[in-house]
Chains A and B, each alone.
Chain A
Amino acid sequence: MTCSSTRSPFSQVETPAVGVSIEKLSKDFGRLKVLKEVTFAVEPGEIFVLMGPSGSGKSVLLKHIVGLELPTSGRVTVDGKDAAAEETREQVRMALVFQSGALFNSLSVYDNLALYPREHRVANEAGIREKVMHALQILSLEGTARKSPSELSGGMKKRVAIARALVMEPQLMLYDEPTSELDPVMSATISEIIATVKEDYHVTTIVVSHERELAFGIADRVGILMGGALISLGPAAELRSPQDPRVAEFLNPKIDLQHPRFKNLET
C-alpha cells in the first residue's frame, strides 16, 4: 500500500460503486402486507435517503437489499444480480448498519471491527489493526477498543456499528436509522461521516431515517415510504415544498392540541 499517509488506510483499489434496482417489490408476513409493489432505483455513488413513519416497512426493505428477506413477489437486484442469491453477497461487498447495532456481544469492540477483515483475510494482523484503529478514530471511539459492547451507551453502539461497516470497505452501504438515539451534535457528525465516506470511497449509500436535516443535508434523492408504498420520490430540494399533503404532514407535523391526531385515527 503506497497511498499517502494523510488518507485513510483503507484500500485504495477502485471498486466501483454498485446500483440497486427494486422492481415491484411486495412482501407479506402472513396476512400482513408490509411492502406493496415498491419500485425505485438507486444510482451508483448516489446517497439515497428513505423516509417514512415507523412500521412503514423501511427496515424490511433494507433487508431485502442485502438478501436477509426474500420477496413475496417482485425483484431486487444489486449491480444487476439478484439480491436474494447467496453468490451476490460474495461478489458485492455490502454493509448494513442495523437499527439496533447488532454488535457481537461476545467480542470486544476491537474484535467486532476486526472480524470481517480477519474472516476474509483482507490483510495481516498489523494491517487489520491499522484499519480498525482508523475506523474507530473517525467515530471518536479510540477509548472503547478493549470494551465489550454491553459496556457501551446506545449512541456508542450505533457508532461502533458504523465503524464496523466502514472497515468492510463496502461498495454498498446501508444505514438503518443511524441517527436515532443520538444527541443533535452526534447526529450531525454522523451525517457528515456518511457524506464523507461516500466522497472518499465512492460508495452507494442508502440511509433510512426520519430526520429532515439529514435528508436535506446529504441526500441526492429522497423517497418516502408510507403504509408499504412509495408515495414520493425525487431530489431532496423538491421536498422543501411538497405537493402531496401526506408528505407535507409527515415532514412538518403541526402539534395541534385542539384536534389531536390520535383521536382521528381510523382503526
Chain B
Amino acid sequence: MKQITAILDGFGSTWLLLVRSLSYAGTLPRQYRRFFEQCYLIGYTTLPIVAILSFFIGSVLALQAGYSMQNFGTQQFIGSLVGLSMARELGPVMVAILLAGRVGSAITAELASMKVYQEIDALVTMNIPPARMLVLPRLAATLVMVPVLAIIADLVGWFGGAIVAKYTAMISIEPEAYFAVLRRYTHFKDVLNGLIKAELFGFVVVLVCCNIGLNTRGGPREIGASVTRAVVVSLILILVLDYFVTQVLMPLQ
C-alpha cells in the first residue's frame, strides 16, 4: 500500500514538476548561460562514452548477426540488420541508459544534496522557483542535445558494424556492400523514429532524476538512496516506455 502511494506520488510530482518547468519556458533566453552549461554537461561530456559504447554495440551486433546468419548464407544482409537495429532500437535505448547513468545520477545527486543542505529551501524563500532555475535549463538542454548524441550513436554503431563485417573471417563483407545493403533497407524514417525515441527517453530520464532529487528528504544518507532510486526508476521507465513507444510508432511507418 505504501509503495503504491509512493509510486502514485512519484507520478504526480513528476507531472507537476514538468508543468511548472514548462510554465517558465519564457525565462529560458535569459537563462542561456545555465542552458549552455547544461548542454555542455549533458551533450558534450557524454559524447565519448556514447561513441565508445555505440561502436562496440554495432560491432557485437554485426558479429552475432554474422554468426547466426552464416547458417543461411545471408551474411550480406548484416548491413540491414545493424542499420535498422541501431537506428530503431539500440541507439536510442543506449543513449538513454547512458544518460540515466552518467547525467541523471549526477543531476539527482546535485539536487538531492541541495535539498538536504537546504539550498532548495533558500531558493524558495528567495522566490526563485527551483523548477525555473534548476529543472528548465536541464530539460531544454536535454531536448537539444539528445538527438545529437543519438545520431552519433547510430552512425558510430553502423561504422563499428562495418569494420567487424570486413575483418571477421566468417563474414568478410566489404564496407561498400555493407553500406549498400544498409542504405537500401534503412530509411530515414527509421532513424527519425529512433531520434524521437531517444528524445522522449532522455527527457523522461532527466525529468524523473530532477524530481527524485528535489524530493529527497532527510540527511546526507538519503542522497545516495535517491541516486540509486533515480537510476533504477529511469532504467525501468526507459524499457517500459520503449515497448509502448515502439507499439505506437510502428503503425506510423
By a beta-carbon cutoff of 8 Å, the part of chain A in contact with chain B is 63, 66-68, 89-90, 93-96, 98, 100, 102-106, 115-116, 119-120, 168
Contact = CB atoms under 8 A, between A and B. Distances in A.
Given A66-B125, A98-B121, 7 more contacts: A93-B127, A95-B126, A96-B122, A98-B118, A102-B118, A104-B114, A105-B119
Given A98-B118, A102-B119, A120 B127 contact: yes
Interface in B198-217: none
Nearest to B122: A102
8 contacts: A68-B125, A89-B127, A90-B127, A100-B118, A102-B117, A105-B114, A119-B126, A120-B127
A102 B128 CA distance: 14
Contacts of B125: 66-68, 89, 94-96
B110 A102 contact: no
Interface string B87-120: 0000000000000000000000010011001110
B133 interface: yes
**Chain B interface category by residue count:** 10 to 19
B128 to A, nearest CB: 5
B192 interface: no
Contacts of B113: 105
Contacts of A120: 127-128
A68 B121 contact: yes
A121 B181 CA distance: 58
Contacts of B118: 98, 100, 102
B85 to A, nearest CB: 40
A106 B128 CA distance: 16
Contacts of B117: 100, 102, 105
Contacts of B19: none
B225 interface: no
Contacts of A93: 127
A61 to B, nearest CB: 14
B124 interface: yes
B128 A116 contact: yes
A119 B119 contact: no
Contacts of A63: 121
Contacts of A66: 124-125
Interface of B: 110, 113-114, 117-119, 121-122, 124-128, 133
Contacts of B114: 104-105
A105 B114 CA distance: 8
Contacts of A104: 114, 119, 122
A127 B97 CA distance: 45
B121 A115 contact: no
A89 B119 contact: no
A155 to B, nearest CB: 18
Given A105-B117, A105-B119, A119 B128 contact: yes
A237 B125 CA distance: 32
Q: Which of B113, B117, B125, B127 has the most CB of A within 10 A?
A: B125
A94 B124 CA distance: 10
Contact of B124 (A89, A103, A115, A119): A89
Nearest 7 interchain pairs by C-beta: A102-B118, A102-B122, A89-B127, A66-B125, A96-B125, A119-B128, A116-B126
B120 to A, nearest CB: 9
Contacts of A119: 126, 128, 133
A98 B119 CA distance: 9
Nearest to A100: B118
Contacts of B128: 115-116, 119-120
A175 to B, nearest CB: 13
A98 B126 CA distance: 12
A95 B126 CA distance: 7
Nearest to A93: B127
A94 B133 CA distance: 19
A265 to B, nearest CB: 25
B24 to A, nearest CB: 11
A86 B246 CA distance: 41
Nearest to A119: B128
Candidate in B113, B124, B126 with the most chain A CB atoms within 10 angstroms: B126
B126 A68 contact: no
A106 B110 contact: yes
A90 B126 CA distance: 9
Given A102-B118, A103-B119, A68 B127 contact: no
A116 B126 CA distance: 7
B122 A98 contact: yes
A99 to B, nearest CB: 8
Nearest to B120: A102
